[in-house]
Amino acid sequence: MKEPIIQFKNFSFKYESQVEHTLEKINLSIYEGEKIVIVGPSGSGKSTLAHCLNGLVPFSYRGEVEGSLTIKGHDTSTLDIFTISKMVGTVLQDPDGQFIGLSVAEDIAFALENEAIPQEEMVRQVTDVSKLVDLENKIQSSIHELSGGQKQRVSLAGVIVEEVDILLFDEPLANLDPATGKHAMALIDQIQKETKTTVVIIEHRLEDVLSQDVDRIIVVDEGRIVSDMSPNELLASDILESCHLREPLYVKALKYAGCNVTPDMHPESIESLAIEQCRDKLSEWYESTDSVKQEKKNSPILELRDINFEYHKGIKTLQNVTLTIHQGEMVSIVGRNGAGKSTLSKIIGGFEKIKSGSIFYKGEDITEDTIFERSNRIGIVMQNPNHMVSKHMIYDEVALGLVMRGVPEEEIKKRVEETLKVCGLYAFRNWPISALSFGQKKRVTIASILVLQPEVLILDEPTAGQDLRHYTEIMEFLTQLNSQGVTILMITHDMHLMLEYTPRAIAIDDGRVIADHSAAHILTNISIVEMTNLKVTSLFELAQKAGMDQPIEFVTRFIEYDKEARLTWRKNY
């Protein structure tokens, strides 16, 4: 039996500012060389658990600790954050915020600089580690020039440049598109094998994490450890569902079909899954569900014709983009980072001026309209709510746009209150915004746009960083708006969102529209999936593995069925 390298014993933690314990009597042993995944919904305490491991709790975030935590046999209460960080290297969640150096080399060297390692030695170590993460050609590049995946490799290199025993990843996939996420997991796996470290990953995108083998999955909910078992055992159980965590879609499909998922079917990945005994049940289920008829919408609300745009002379960000959005549609716009999808939303909102082409709103040419004029028809919600909130109180924030338009006070009151009701924020109307959670803040920003009664709503990554519960909440809210007639466009790389909520998806690569089809078609088309850095949905792979004749239709039916199922689930919840 190996020695535990990390051991929590009856460990509890309470933040200084809070009344309740965030972590409650945690008992957990992690052994040398293991690869552990910790999952849990937002607010479950999983981030706090990570902060306990790297020393941010209690050194940066103060509070009361009970019980003990030992790392490599040392009780952490006797150590300082510097000693702990020598043993536990942390790769933080936000890939942009955590860079300290300006160039790749400097950032990797940061920890060495702090240890006062001589310059020559430092240069040698930085070169070595940059080879390990495959960045040796980028070493002098500025960090801003890198892609999301490369950024993550830099932050990993900055941690492993010194020998650490434990590598801690705090939501490593949060800002990555599905394909990059898969590469990231493979890289973590490779580094672990080469450096023989213990790896702890905090994440809620379980299906993506499981693209590589892990030893155990710990489920945390409401500050307690709910389960601690192998991936196969966990996926066969119903623990994930009861903690409001997303099961891998193929597992969910098996369960819907009434298959009894057992650990020896190896459900941990679609490749290892033994499907033989489920084949019949799956096709029975397929036959029993109805095919979905998509009604064609045909009343154009927004038309882009032959749009060209460039930020810098000669580098085309958008090329000959032509597309039509119909009234009442819900459409997702997908593409890899830098493909031009955010630019597209900026152009529709009038934030940037196009070089050539024209934009029509209900047949009327709005190409020359200002941001302000367009904002009465087209509302844009930014990804980061902190970029929008400018008042202390929720009511004032939502009223702001109307006040600026000189709407009479009584009407403002009426419209703001109506909007707050629609957004489920009426009860909070006299609250300060700072008291809200991230998801609620996001809803405030949506409300502040909605109050202007635009007929088209464009949202940039509406669900980024949200767990399943908040994700469902936001998306159900948007669906409800959509059913009231608001046309919704979403920029996203969340495949679940595409599949579950948007019947139509537009894929953009290199400033061009490369596909405009149903989400199920796009996520099953290998060449488009590759160009947009998405992944083929595991449902499609399941259907193929089960030998279905029409795998795309299988995907479509699953989504419809799942939507119904989740609506009931939400009602009961």
Residues at the site binding another protein, with contacts judged by CB under 8 A:
54-56, 59-60, 81-82, 85-86, 90, 92, 94, 97-103, 105-106, 109-119, 122-123, 126, 158-159, 346, 349-351, 371-372, 374-375, 379-380, 382, 384, 386-391, 400-401, 404-405, 448-449, 452
The number of residues in the chain equals 573
| Cβ-based nearer residue to another protein, 114 or 298 | 114
Q: How far is the CB of 168 from another protein (least distance, A)?
A: 9
Q: How far is the CB of 223 from another protein (least distance, A)?
A: 22
Work out the angle between the directed axes of helices 394-404 and 409-422 (0-180°, nearest 10): 130
Amino acid at 339: A
How far apart CA 404 and CA 419 sit, in angstroms, is 17
DSSP H or E segment with residue 378: strand 378-381
Q: How far is the CB of 517 from another protein (least distance, A)?
A: 30
How far apart CA 25 and CA 39 sit, in angstroms, is 17
Q: Which residue has the tokens 């009442």?
A: 328
- For residue 444, the SS3 value is helix
497-533 per-residue burial string, b: 16 or more CB within 10 A, e: under 16: bbbbbbbbbbbbbebebbbbebbbbbbbbeebbebbb
Q: How far is the CB of 460 from another protein (least distance, A)?
A: 10
What is the signed CA dihedral for 178, 183, 188, 192, rounded to 10 degrees? Answer: 140
From residue 131, alpha-carbon distances to 139, 161, 168, 207, 508 in Å are 10, 11, 21, 29, 32
Q: How far is the CB of 271 from another protein (least distance, A)?
A: 36
| Cβ-based nearer residue to another protein, 322 or 386 | 386
How far apart CA 475 and CA 452 sit, in angstroms, is 20
| Cβ-based nearer residue to another protein, 121 or 280 | 121
Q: How far is the CB of 415 from another protein (least distance, A)?
A: 14
| Cβ-based nearer residue to another protein, 176 or 236 | 176
DSSP H or E segment with residue 300: strand 300-312
Q: Which residue has the tokens 């419209």?
A: 415
| Cβ-based nearer residue to another protein, 320 or 337 | 337
Q: How far is the CB of 102 from another protein (least distance, A)?
A: 5
Q: How far is the CB of 140 from another protein (least distance, A)?
A: 11
| Cβ-based nearer residue to another protein, 18 or 390 | 390
Q: How far is the CB of 373 from another protein (least distance, A)?
A: 10
Residue among 484, 515, 478, 532 nearest 500 (CA): 478
| Cβ-based nearer residue to another protein, 277 or 386 | 386
Q: How far is the CB of 43 from another protein (least distance, A)?
A: 18
| Cβ-based nearer residue to another protein, 248 or 465 | 465
Pairing outcome for strands 4-15 and 23-31: antiparallel
How far apart CA 18 and CA 14 sit, in angstroms, is 7
* Beta-strand runs (E) in 481-550: 487-491, 504-509, 512-518
Q: How far is the CB of 280 from another protein (least distance, A)?
A: 52
| Cβ-based nearer residue to another protein, 100 or 565 | 100
Q: How many CB atoms lie within 10 A of CB 459?
A: 24
How far apart CA 519 and CA 335 sit, in angstroms, is 13
Q: State CA 413 to chain mean position distance.
A: 35
How does DSSP assign 19-45, residue by residue? SS-SEEEEEEEEETT-EEEEE--TTSS
| Cβ-based nearer residue to another protein, 83 or 230 | 83
| Cβ-based nearer residue to another protein, 45 or 379 | 379
Q: How many CB atoms lie within 10 A of CB 142?
A: 12
Q: How far is the CB of 285 from another protein (least distance, A)?
A: 46
| Cβ-based nearer residue to another protein, 445 or 502 | 445
Tokens of 473: 């909440």
How far apart CA 252 and CA 539 sit, in angstroms, is 9
| Cβ-based nearer residue to another protein, 118 or 485 | 118
Q: How far is the CB of 217 from another protein (least distance, A)?
A: 25
